[in-house]
Amino acid sequence: MCIFYEGGWKNNLIQIQAPGERLLQRIIDAHIHLSERRDDALNHFARMNGLRYTLGELLGTMRRHKIVRGLLLSPPLGGGVPLPNENVIRLCGRSDGMLAPVITVEPTAIEVKNAVKLAEENRKEVKGFKVRLGYVKASAESPVFNRLYDYAESEGLPVLFHTGDTAFSTGDLARSHPLTLDGLANKREELTMVLCHFGNPWFEDVAELIYKHQNVYADISGLVTGGAYAEKYAEWLSRKISEAIYFAGGADKVIFGTDYPVTKHSETLALVKRLEVDEGDKEKILWRTAERVFGL
């Protein structure tokens, strides 16, 4: 029998464990989108997944799956621009402490300046930055991001990079390929980097990057999709991620994320369950690594 008490998100799964009994699982979702706006380009995916795509639905789903904390990122709006970061911070403020903001940074000097200023003004809340590789006309090593990287290093804040396939056909795969981040990781060894979507479909390249670089991690968000071969695709994904973990020598660099509403929480949790790795590595994926990397 496990006994636990409540007292804030960080304590709500503190437990007394009976001999021989495993601790109840707690989960951190390191990749969530939300806007509650009609011009949100992800509304299409929400409808496909039968989701209302509201803050109430999101928080209810998180509680149901024992997801104690989540990182909220700007979704794209009509015209391809991201939801303003101020909106993300306000949504997090309505989440009863369950959501923390990640600031999206576009490749212009003024946007970088504004992002750093916003992070400074919300120092206690902001947990990282996001660069939308493949959606913007800039590479990870573009000089325009130097001020952002300097600040992120000084504050110990991770920078998330979109890698791999893009949600829309207008995306630039040459800029979102994960190997384009190898040079930046070589130059910026103090910069914590998180490769979103595990570079799908370049899983082996991401496996090499997280093995090679001490400061590079990857999340498993937005990988699960429907279709005629959904079950076979899920098996293929599980095999690819498992093999990447074998190559890297463990799951210390792999982080759970859903990409809600692109992928449902139940689908990504099922993917983790399928992985052919030990329970300790699944625990690292589900919360331990995210807690350490993002300071949650």
Lowest mean pLDDT among 20-34, 109-123, 186-200, 248-262: 20-34
Using one digit for the tens of pLDDT, what is the confidence trace for 136-155? 999 999 999 999 999 999 99
pLDDT band for 167, please (50, 70, 90 cuts).
Answer: confident
In a domain, 5, yes or no: no
What is the average pLDDT across 269-290? Answer: 96
Using one digit for the tens of pLDDT, what is the confidence trace for 11-55? 444 333 333 334 446 899 999 999 999 999 999 999 999 999 999
Q: What is the pTM of this model?
A: 0.90
In a domain, 187, yes or no: yes
The predicted structure's pLDDT at residue 21: 36
The predicted structure's pLDDT at residue 15: 39
Please report, rounded to a whole number, the percentage of residues in the chain having pLDDT higher than 90: 86
What CATH number did the domain enclosing 284 receive?
A: 3.20.20.140
Residue labelled with tokens 């992985």: 275
In a domain, 154, yes or no: yes
The count of domains in the chain is 1
Dihedral sign for Cα atoms in the order 37, 38, 42, 47:
positive
What is the average pLDDT across 102-118? Answer: 98
In a domain, 3, yes or no: no
The answer on pLDDT for 106 being more than 60 is yes
3-state helix, strand, coil in the chain (%, to 5): 40, 15, 40
d(CA 257, CA 286): 8
In a domain, 265, yes or no: yes
Using one digit for the tens of pLDDT, what is the confidence trace for 171-217? 899 999 999 999 999 999 999 999 999 999 999 999 999 999 999 99
Distances (CA, A) of 179 to 107, 173, 239, 296: 19, 11, 21, 28
Higher pLDDT, 192 or 2: 192
Pair 117, 129: CB distance under 8 Å: no
- Label the pairing between strands 129-131 and 159-162: parallel
In a domain, 276, yes or no: yes
In a domain, 191, yes or no: yes
Which residues constitute the domain of residue 205?
Answer: 24-294
What is the average pLDDT across 251-259? Answer: 97
In a domain, 259, yes or no: yes
Higher pLDDT, 240 or 226: 240
Sort residue 104 into left (φ over 0), alpha (ψ -120 to 50) or beta: beta
The predicted structure's pLDDT at residue 25: 67
